[in-house]
Structure 1
Amino acid sequence: MLYVVTGPPAAGKSTWIDAHAKPTDIVIDLDRITRALTGPGAPAWNQNPLQLRVAHKARYAAMHEAFELRDQVDVYLIHTMPSAKARAKYKRLDARIVAVDPGRDIVMQRIKAMRDPDMERVATRWYNARRGQPPGAMPQASRTW
């Protein structure tokens, strides 16, 4: 099964996966990939453009391979804001879409406390894109911040 986990930055997407995935599942999380590709002492949510460039390439390669294995193992993919094209692909793959959203106020507090301030723009874009859509998001407290 393919699970596509969406939500704004700092919503608790990784925490949701940690609570549901088994050790044998495949987890594709850009933050985790970036951490794995950077040196000691790099920030947990590294937004360095050069390191992100390499991490994005690794993510796409992992997605391609993991999608082929989704009938043998569960695959969890974090995709904050999938485009219409990506959503169509996930639909063809019979993915289960999970939206994690503890609410705008909580997300903005978390970003201010521990993320790059640029993530506020990403969160605002996520919420603006969802305006007028049915709720469908799963309230997710994730963890104590």
Structure 2
Amino acid sequence: MITGFQSNPVPKPKGEQGNEHLRKRGRAGMAQRKRRLQAEPLCRHCAVQGLTTPSTVPDHIIPLKDGGTDDDTNIQCLCEQCHAIKTAIEAAQGTGASNHPDWLRPSAIPLTIVCGPPCAGKTTYVEQNAKPGDITIDLDALARKIDPSYRQWEGMLEGALLNSAIRARNELLGSLSRLKRGNAWFIVSAPTQAERNWWQDHLCGNTHLIDPGADECKRRAIQRGTPNAVKGIDEWHRRARQQWQPKGKAQTFTEQGRVVW
């Protein structure tokens, strides 16, 4: 069950096309967007979790397509990540999200794709090199934001949570082609060179592989109190020796639950 972000749109009556026609465009839309962000400069969803994050997107609480209004009472300002999560949950209709969506376009800002096995130090590397305002895209971090009860390596990331997390990740990856400032960091296991090439071909940017070796990763896993990660480390190195082809729909497990795609 997803306990964090919830979307409860009002069902549209049969034949209704929603209220997309209410959306302001052009200069009027830009002025409205600026006014709303000034009125709510911090992300509302982050604030609920005790976080302070600048808002970047005025979001319709009930989407226009589902009958929501364009009044300020139906607006909440969110950060890019929270907006991607909400959009992903709204888009989830029981179908599996794509692990490797072909519609991705090259990032418009500098992007580093950080790859490697569990406990290799990918997150630490990004934290040490990212600057304020940079965007970090990490599947497990998104899962924790969607469902705060999710704990890394304490179970499997699967079902509705996995589906929503992958959709949110894809939303964020897709947004990179529209950004104008900052840098982006994408954390993904990608055990094979073929998969790393796939991500680089679609998103451009640079790939950075971190692999201190299986023994060192396992030592870190035990030291951190996450012995379940040991199986994930073995799985990553096993898959690194295999041929790779893009997967379509989301698999049952992610890096945190035995199987690494």
- TM-score in terms of structure 1 length: 0.72
Q: Which amino acid aligns with 2:172?
A: A
Q: Which amino acid aligns with 1:115?
A: T
State the identity %. 28
**Does residue 1:99 correspond to 2:209, yes or no?**
yes
Mean Cα deviation higher: 102-111 or 22-31: 102-111
Residue 176 of structure 2 corresponds to: 66
Please list, as runs of the form range in 1=range in 2, the aligned pairs for 1:72-111 lying within 5 A after superposition.
72-81=181-190, 84=194, 87-91=197-201, 93-111=203-221
User: How far did 1:68 drift?
Assistant: 3.3
Q: Quick check: 1:26–1:66 contact (8 Å CA) kept in 2?
A: no
User: How far did 1:79 drift?
Assistant: 1.3
Residue 114 of structure 1 corresponds to: 225
> Deviations 1:7-41 (Å, cap 9, x if unpaired)?
001111000000000121110011211111113x4
> Do the aligned partners of residues 33 and 81 (structure 1) sit closer, same or farther apart at CA in structure 2, a change above 3 Å counting?
same
Q: Quick check: 1:17–1:76 contact (8 Å CA) kept in 2?
A: yes
Q: Hey, what's the Cα distance between the residues in 2 that align with 1:85 and 1:127?
A: 14
> Do the aligned partners of residues 10 and 67 (structure 1) sit closer, same or farther apart at CA in structure 2, a change above 3 Å counting?
farther
**Does residue 1:12 correspond to 2:134, yes or no?**
no
> Deviations 1:61-111 (Å, cap 9, x if unpaired)?
111112432x63211001111663662351354311111122211211233
Q: Hey, what's the Cα distance between the residues in 1 that align with 2:204 and 2:150?
A: 36
Look up the SS of the partner of 1:3 in the other structure. Answer: strand
Q: Quick check: 2:115–2:210 contact (8 Å CA) kept in 1?
A: yes
Equivalent pairs counted in the alignment come to 128
Q: Quick check: 2:117–2:191 contact (8 Å CA) kept in 1?
A: no
> Do the aligned partners of residues 92 and 120 (structure 1) sit closer, same or farther apart at CA in structure 2, a change above 3 Å counting?
same
Mean Cα deviation higher: 77-86 or 16-25: 77-86
Q: Hey, what's the Cα distance between the residues in 2 that align with 1:81 and 1:122?
A: 13
> Do the aligned partners of residues 110 and 92 (structure 1) sit closer, same or farther apart at CA in structure 2, a change above 3 Å counting?
same
> Do the aligned partners of residues 15 and 85 (structure 1) sit closer, same or farther apart at CA in structure 2, a change above 3 Å counting?
closer
Residue 145 of structure 2 corresponds to: 36
Look up the SS of the partner of 2:114 in the other structure. Answer: strand
Q: Considering Cα pairs closer than 8 Å and 6+ residues apart, tell me whether 1 or 2 has the greater RCO.
A: 1
The gaps in structure 2 that reach 5 residues or longer are 1-109, 242-261
Q: Over the residues paired in the alignment, what is the CA RMSD in angstroms?
A: 2.5
Q: Quick check: 1:2–1:67 contact (8 Å CA) kept in 2?
A: no
Q: Quick check: 1:33–1:59 contact (8 Å CA) kept in 2?
A: yes
Q: Choose from 95, 118, 135 the match for 1:26.
A: 135
Q: Hey, what's the Cα distance between the residues in 2 that align with 1:72 and 1:10?
A: 30
